[in-house]
Structure formats: structure tokens, C-alpha cells
Amino acid sequence: ATATIGMTGLAVMGRNLARNIANHGHTIAVHNRTTARTTALVEEFGDEPTEHGGAFVATESLEEFVAAIRRPRAIIIMVKAGEPTDAVIEELVPLLDEGDIVVDAGNAHFTDTLRRQQALESQGLHFVGMGVSGGEEGALKGPSIMVGGSEHAFEVLEPVVMSITAQVDGTPCAAHVGPDGAGHFVKMVHNGIEYADMQLIAESYDLLRSVAGLEPAEIADVFDEWNAGDLESFLIEMTADVLRHTDAATGKPFVDVVRDAAEQKGTGRWTVQSALDLGVPITGIAEATFARSLSGHTAQRAAAQKMFSTTTEDQRVEVDRDTFVDQVRAALYAAKVVAYAQGFDQIAAGSEEHGWEVDLGETATIWRGGCIIRAQFLDRIKEAYASEPDLTTLLTTPYFVDAVKDGVDAWREVVATGARAGVPTPAISSSLAYFDGLRRTRLPAALIQGLRDNFGAHTYERTDREGTFHTTWAGDRTEKEM
Ligand code: NBP
């Protein structure tokens, strides 16, 4: 056995991650169900050591693959999430020895990771659920890595993980976020935040174009300008790139020839489902997920467009272009603070529920590079948790308080303008509603409690004394302490 680690599953992600590992001086055994992928990798990049001393050991059968790795073995599975991952684990496990470490680096649902971890642990094996972010390019050049598993398993994997991950200011964008499902959970919420981020950007674009009348190339310039300030991020930069792109076939802006139905692979949905289970209001992520669903509901959209033509129902809203651009920037920033605050709340709640003890500041730190949501902004979040590890909500950290206070008038103006013009802003406006909901001293939830007690005797608590109460609504309306 010559390899220090193994990788099975050599589609785009596995192939690039294996190359990244070899480029960092590790000898890696490679395997794929269809041998052609293994052959192609080795034919293209050779099986001689790389300039850094790493090399590929190409294998055809799983038996050969397992035999090529030094014990205790560390084996990364990078195949399609769900049943294919279970199929690979099932084939692999009988070939392994006690103490070997099986790493699932695919986009597994964290509940699958919990189940697999239990199953493998009972067979004397270690199981690690490793969230890898950054897509194809990140896998090759340095992804953000969220490791979930035992301390021991992490210690074994650490040299490889820390060498292949992205680095920001000398700090690796990888960490042991917690045991069992913690890595995949944090990766899931990361993807949810990515949904919210993209939706907020898309709404901002729509407002600038439909209300202020800017052309896509002009909006690209606006995003470039924003990218020089506190909104600086990979997604803002990429938005300018996409908006400036012209379709070669028609000469039109690229964004005008793409069908306006956003697809999703499911991590946004998982994030929302988990948030519902945990009772955490992640309205930004939820609205972003539903907005994608709405965009794909062709029949309903066609029916509504026929009945409610956009010209008759919407008001013409006159805005001063420069002022409106600034207002949209402020609204985007404030709504983004809310979306991240909600995402971090969800990680805190998941961590509490499963006893993971996820370090929220560290989570912000490892998202600063290698992943799609990498942003300047994450430095602020890292600092917020560094100065106050038990922070109740990111919204109340001084830096964000100032940003939200300074931006709140603009935020309201943008939401109101969008509503008047008939330009939907589900994520920007729901974030404002969330913010207003949190900061109000009295919420109409009191009335809901009254209704619930009236129709269902669900009881209520009082503001002026302890206890649980019920009013005999159908009778003499006296109040009873329960
Ligand atoms: P895919 O998700 O497209 O999966 C293809 C790989 O799965 C191939 O190696 C294929 O083998 C293997 N596979 C399948 Br399908 N069924 C199998 C089975 N029953 N037994 C053994 N192998 C099987 O690859 P990917 O896009 O590279 O993604 C890999 C993982 O990384 C996924 O979980 C994905 O969600 C995650 N991820 C992807 C991205 C991204 O940007 N693409 C980002 C982050 C995470 P074959 O060659 O023999 O068909």
C-alpha cells in the first residue's frame, strides 16, 4: 500500500479534489465505478509524482483501491448524493478494517450523515460527513471545507484537508465544525444563504432595471462600484460579469435571452425544511427558495399574465436614478445582514438540537474563501462572534446596527417603491418585515393567542402575571387559571 488517502468517484468534483490533493504532495489512490474516468484522469495528469511529490495510484476494482491505501485508511467518497453514496458505502465497508475512516464529501443531507455515522461506528469504522463548497473550480484550487466527525478522524484527515483548502490572510477555510452531521448541516445552511444572497442580488437588479430604467451593462457598472465597498463579494463581482455579457447569437444582453426559470438541486429546500423543524424563521432563504419555485410555475404565470397585464396594474414610479441606486444598495446590504443573521441562528439552533457545539465565528471564518458566498462581510461576522461569542443575533452587533440604522429609511423606500411599481421583492421585503417583527415591542401574536384560545381552548399566558389561562369564550367569559 502506497497511498496516504483514497478517492472514489471521479466526476467533476472528485477528479478536481483528487488533483488538488496530489498537487499538495499526497499520494492518492483513485477509483471510479466506470474505469474510463480513472483512466482519463491518469492519462491526462500521469501517475508520476507531481512537482510537489504527490501522485495518483490508479485502481480498477474496489478491492485493488482499498489495498492501495495505507492503514488506517482514509477514503473519500465523492459520488452523487443519496442512494449512490449508500451503494458505495455498502460495497466498501466489507473490504475495510477496524479504525478506517470513510469520508462522504458529497452533498449529503445531514440526516443521512447521522444515519451512516451510526451504522459505520457500530462496525468499528469512523465516518466523516465533509461539506465541500466552491464547485468545480474550488475543488481544484481550494474549497471551503466543513468537516463533521470525531476528533480522532479529523486529526487523521487534518494534514490533507488543511493543505487543499482555500486560505484567507493565512487562515485556512476549513475546520472541524463538530461531530457526525455537523459538517453537512453547516454546508446545507451555507447553500441556503447562497440562495438568499442570489435572490437579493436578483431583486436589486430587477428594481434598477424595471424602476430606474438602467440597462444591464449600466447595472453591471453599478455592481462593480458596489463591489468596491462593503458589499464586496464573489457573487456581486460575478453579477457584473453576467450582466455585461452579450449573447453572441442575437447581440442582446445575455440576461435577456436566458429563460427566467431558476432551477434548484434541493439544498435550499432542505435548509427551509430543517428551519421549519427547528422553528427558526429564515425568511430570506425561504423566500429565495419559493421565488425559484414561482419562476418555474409556467402555467400559473401565463394565466396570471393574461388576466393581470403588467401595464394596467402597475403604477409608473418616477425615481431619481442616483438616489434610487444608493437606496437599493442600502436595502440590499440590510437585507443581506438579515439573511445571514437568520442563517447563523439556524446553525446555532441545529447545533443546540444535536449537541454539536458549532463555533459560529469559525464558521464565518471558513466561508471567507473557496466558496460561492465568500465576501468581505464575513470578516464583520467573524469579528462579531469574536467579541461576543454568545451573541443572540448578528443584527445587534454594533457594526450591523449602524449599517441597518443608516439604511433602514432607504430599505423602506425600496420596498414601497417596488410594491407600487409591481416589482416583486420577496427577499428584500420579507427581511424588512423580519427586522420590524423583531424590533416591535408588541406583536399581534397576542391576538393569535386569543383566537387559538377561543376556537381551540389552546390557553394563553398573561403579561401581568405568571401562569397559563383559558377564557370560557362560549360561556360566561370568566378566566380560569389552568
Ligand atoms: P455527480 O453528482 O454527477 O455524481 C457522479 C459520480 O457518482 C460518478 O463518479 C458516478 O460514477 C458516481 N456514481 C453514481 Br451517479 N452512482 C453510483 C453507484 N451506484 N456506485 C458508484 N458510483 C456511482 O458528480 P459531481 O458533480 O462530481 O458531484 C459529486 C458530489 O459532490 C455530489 O454529492 C455533489 O452533490 C457534490 N457537490 C457538487 C458540487 C458541484 O459544483 N458539482 C459542489 C459541491 C458538492 P460513474 O462515473 O460510474 O457514473
131 within ligand 1 shell (Cβ under 6 A): no
Q: Choose the residue to mutate in 13, 60, 83, 263 for probing ligand 1, maximizing ligand atoms within 8 Å of C-beta.
A: 13
The grid coordinates listed for 369 are 474563501
Q: What is the DSSP string of 7-21?
A: EE--SHHHHHHHHHH
The grid coordinates listed for 75 are 477514503
pLDDT for 54:
82
**CA 324 / ligand 1 centre spacing (Å):** 44
Grid cell 449508500 is found at 86
Catalytic residue (one of 194, 203, 287, 362): 194
Give the tens place of pLDDT for each residue, 280-291. Answer: 999 999 999 999
Give the tens place of pLDDT for each residue, 106-135. Answer: 999 999 999 999 999 999 999 999 999 999
- Pick from 175, 156, 166, 139: which is nearest to 9 by CA? 139
**CA 84 / ligand 1 centre spacing (Å):** 8
Measured in degrees and rounded to the nearest 5, phi and psi for residue 252 equal -90, 165
Atom number, ligand 1, closest to the C-alpha of residue 10: 9
CA-CA distances (angstroms) from residue 301 to 204, 210, 257, 309?
21, 18, 18, 11
Give the tens place of pLDDT for each residue, 256-268. Answer: 999 999 988 889 9
Residues 245 and 253: their CA atoms lie apart, in Å, by: 6
The grid coordinates listed for 445 are 401574536
136 within ligand 1 shell (Cβ under 6 A): yes
- Interface predicted TM-score (ipTM) of this complex, two decimals: 0.98
Residue 149 DSSP class:
S
- Pick from 200, 133, 157: which is nearest to 373 by CA? 133
pLDDT for 264:
86
Which value, to the nearest 10 degrees, does the dihedral of the CA atoms of residues 328, 334, 340, 345 take?
-140
Residues ≥6 apart with Cβ < 8 Å to 98: 124, 125
Q: Is the predicted pLDDT of residue 310 greater than 70, yes or no?
A: no
40 within ligand 1 shell (Cβ under 6 A): no
Helices and strands, number each (H, E), in the chain: 21, 12
369 is in an annotated binding site: no
Give the tens place of pLDDT for each residue, 4-20. Answer: 999 999 999 999 999 99
Contact between 254 and 246 under an 8 Å Cβ cutoff? The reply is yes
The grid coordinates listed for 362 are 469559525
Q: What's the average model confidence in pLDDT over 309-321?
A: 76
Q: Is the predicted pLDDT of residue 244 greater than 70, yes or no?
A: yes
pLDDT for 448:
98
Q: Is 194 a catalytic residue?
A: yes
Q: Is the predicted pLDDT of residue 312 greater than 60, yes or no?
A: no
10 within ligand 1 shell (Cβ under 6 A): yes
pLDDT for 317:
86
79 within ligand 1 shell (Cβ under 6 A): yes
Residues 60 and 66: their CA atoms lie apart, in Å, by: 11
Mean pLDDT rounded to a whole number for the chain: 95
87 within ligand 1 shell (Cβ under 6 A): yes
399 is in an annotated binding site: no
**CA 82 / ligand 1 centre spacing (Å):** 10
Q: Choose the residue to mutate in 8, 10, 80 for probing ligand 1, maximizing ligand atoms within 8 Å of C-beta.
A: 80
Count of C-beta atoms within a 10 Å radius of residue 478: 8
pLDDT for 308:
86
Residues 119 and 355: their CA atoms lie apart, in Å, by: 19
148 within ligand 1 shell (Cβ under 6 A): no
Atom number, ligand 1, closest to the C-alpha of residue 37: 47
Chain centre to alpha carbon of residue 232 = 18
Amino acid (1-letter code) at residue 207: L
pLDDT for 313:
57
272 is in an annotated binding site: no
pLDDT for 316:
77
Instruction: Count how many Cα atoms sit within 13 Å of the Cα of residue 454 in the half-sphere of its side chain.
Output: 6
Residues 372 and 106: their CA atoms lie apart, in Å, by: 16
58 within ligand 1 shell (Cβ under 6 A): no
Conformation bin of residue 262: beta by default, left when phi > 0, alpha when psi is -120 to 50: beta
Length reported for the chain: 482
Give the tens place of pLDDT for each residue, 364-402. Answer: 999 999 999 998 889 999 999 999 988 999 999 998 999
- Burial label for 114, CB within 10 Å (0-12, 13-18, 19+), is buried
Atom number, ligand 1, closest to the C-alpha of residue 8: 9
The grid coordinates listed for 200 are 437579493
Q: Is 141 a catalytic residue?
A: no
Q: Choose the residue to mutate in 7, 30, 33, 110 for probing ligand 1, maximizing ligand atoms within 8 Å of C-beta.
A: 33
81 is in an annotated binding site: yes
pLDDT for 314:
66
**CA 78 / ligand 1 centre spacing (Å):** 6
325 is in an annotated binding site: no
